[in-house]
Structure 1
């Protein structure tokens, strides 16, 4: 089963800023000194594919998180904020071509899904 994940819908789209961290321990200290506390740690495995569709460079990422069922698909493109609505239309068209309906889309963050999975009571099986 492949579940499509569209990280940002038109109404929730936002710029993302990423940078390389030379020493994660230093950033950990800085964040803690700013009052931040660790929320969750989990593994996320990704395989990225680059392609062009509708004249746009896109990245398709297949994601698995050991604590979650299924494989997730992320489609992303770097565009100016003014082009966000158009790129989201293109992404939805690609998902449609792949046979992935809007009902399979989610905006849930992996961290929230993992937290929820960890809070689920474990299934107890009766033994005779």
Structure 2
């Protein structure tokens, strides 16, 4: 059976570079599964859960927005941060949400920063409950 190569890159390093049977991307407007042979696509990532599945296990990661490209059975993900879901603590994410909601929102730029911070924290809270 064909495999997908998944490469996840953050500003600091390549976080993941491995072959999987399938994966689920957290696109900005909902999750999307990817199997080998998928037509090419470029998508905007939301703050959410990336699932990597092979024949023996499923690994889950939180990705911090970004972009994904699927082409020739290679899924390239560019994100600000990728971390194992097991590293997320609900209480910490809850504190991050409270702090985000206290950020000033007097200008459009401040609103964008506040909203992105709140979306990130809510994504982590949602994932850590599973």
Band of TM-score, shorter chain: under 0.3
Q: Which one has a larger percent strand, Structure 1 or Structure 2?
A: 2
Q: TM-score, normalised by structure 2?
A: 0.25
Q: Which has the higher contact order (CA 8 A, sep 6+)?
A: 1
Q: TM-score, normalised by structure 1?
A: 0.25
**Structure with the greater alpha carbon radius of gyration:** 1
